[in-house]
């Protein structure tokens, strides 16, 4: 695969971090030097984040706003050039400068993704700076690693069977409302680039992200789905805190998930807290990391008291622990 046109320069520096292999790369042409940081090991159920530091030589005039820069990240399956995920970059520039800009983008990797080949994927970055007439592009290599997830069978009682098999207008409207939120990415809403924390002090898991679940209903029917978050076995009324700074975009009762809170942290990135017994926030509130937002319970479809913590990126579910590392590559910058 040809990564760059002949006028481009690419160098890769491999640096091992705690949760993946973080890679630094450099793109350079006559107008730009772009330092790129990204996690180059692709694992089903995790995410891929790319951070670009764009330096413009002083002799290259730049008179337009940094906000007019445009870039897109594509996660590509090489076999058929299929775009599995794509999303726009957003500005994270802190200092005012006509020669420097920073951009960030993340895409989820489906927990259902599997392949027989180790190197069947790549990342494509398409960018157009504010002063340019034409877009440019370059590729970033990645390595794919398959992952196996646990399987479990859940036999539901009559109350939970009725919830799971409820296709009435109220529950369907609640699902539609949530999906509309999770598919929303406001590029201006950059609240924090820091590591996330666990919303509970408990380390006792009753279920994990990615578990393959078979539900057995009281009428004998079955259905299979994937568990989108981590479940923590905590007593009713245990404190639940925000995993990171952000804006509350949902705080309400839902048939499936009981008292539920959704917080926006970055464009397209949300944390979800389900089955609560009470809520301390309302939509529109801004919360800090580790702020009390509610207390755990067993409301909605639950087999006992617990906290369900979930992370969504561009509507795709991502393993929550991924965000507890330096996923924005801020510590070295």
- In angstroms, the CA 293 to CA 281 distance is 6
Across 60-76, average pLDDT = 76
Residue-level pLDDT at 209: 96
Instruction: Name the pTM for this structure.
Output: 0.91
Residue-level pLDDT at 112: 93
Residue-level pLDDT at 147: 92
Which residues have a Cβ under 8 Å from the Cβ of 65 and sit 6 or more positions away? Answer: 130
Residue-level pLDDT at 188: 93
Residue-level pLDDT at 65: 59
pLDDT, greater one: 245 or 303: 245
Average pLDDT, the chain: 89
- In angstroms, the CA 149 to CA 310 distance is 17
Residue-level pLDDT at 308: 98
pLDDT, greater one: 46 or 303: 46
Res. 204: pLDDT tops 50: yes
Across 242-262, average pLDDT = 98
Task: Report the alpha-carbon angle 62-64-70, nearest 5.
Answer: 100
Residue-level pLDDT at 4: 39
Residue-level pLDDT at 7: 39
- In angstroms, the CA 77 to CA 85 distance is 10
275 and 236 Cβ atoms separated by less than 8 Å: no
Q: How confident is the model at residue 129 (pLDDT cuts 50, 70, 90)?
A: confident
How do strand 292-296 and strand 286-287 relate by DSSP bridges? unpaired
Res. 320: pLDDT tops 60: yes
pLDDT, greater one: 170 or 23: 170
């Amino acid at each position: 695969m040809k990564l760059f046109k002949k006028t481009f320069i690419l160098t890769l520096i491999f640096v091992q971090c705690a949760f993946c292999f973080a890679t630094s790369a450099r793109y350079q042409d006559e107008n730009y030097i772009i330092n790129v940081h990204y996690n180059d090991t692709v694992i089903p159920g995790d995410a891929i984040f790319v951070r670009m530091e764009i330096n413009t030589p002083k002799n290259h005039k730049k008179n337009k706003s940094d906000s007019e820069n445009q870039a897109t990240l594509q996660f590509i399956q090489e076999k058929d050039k299929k775009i599995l995920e794509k999303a726009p970059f957003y500005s994270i520039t802190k200092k005012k400068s006509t020669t420097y800009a920073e951009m960030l983008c993340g895409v989820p990797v489906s927990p259902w993704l599997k392949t027989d080949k180790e190197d069947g994927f790549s990342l494509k970055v398409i960018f157009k700076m504010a002063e340019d007439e034409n877009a440019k592009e370059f590729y970033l290599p990645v390595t794919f690693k398959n992952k196996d997830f646990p399987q479990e069978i859940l036999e539901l009682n009559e109350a939970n069977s009725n919830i799971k098999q409820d296709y009435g207008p109220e529950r369907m409207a609640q699902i539609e409302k949530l999906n509309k939120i999770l598919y929303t990415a406001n590029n201006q809403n950059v609240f924090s680039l820091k590591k996330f924390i666990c919303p509970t002090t408990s380390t006792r898991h009753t279920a994990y992200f990615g578990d393959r679940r078979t539900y057995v209903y009281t009428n004998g029917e079955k259905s299979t789905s994937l568990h989108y978050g981590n479940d923590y076995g905590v007593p009713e009324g245990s404190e639940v805190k925000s995993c990171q700074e952000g804006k509350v975009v949902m705080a309400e009762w839902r048939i499936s998930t009981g008292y539920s809170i959704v917080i926006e942290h970055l464009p397209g990135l949300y944390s979800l807290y389900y089955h609560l017994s009470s809520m301390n926030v309302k939509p529109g509130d801004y919360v800090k990391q580790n702020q009390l937002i509610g207390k755990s319970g067993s409301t909605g479809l639950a087999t006992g008291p617990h906290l369900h913590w979930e992370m969504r990126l561009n509507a795709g579910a991502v393993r929550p622990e991924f965000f507890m590392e330096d996923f924005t590559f801020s510590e070295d910058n």
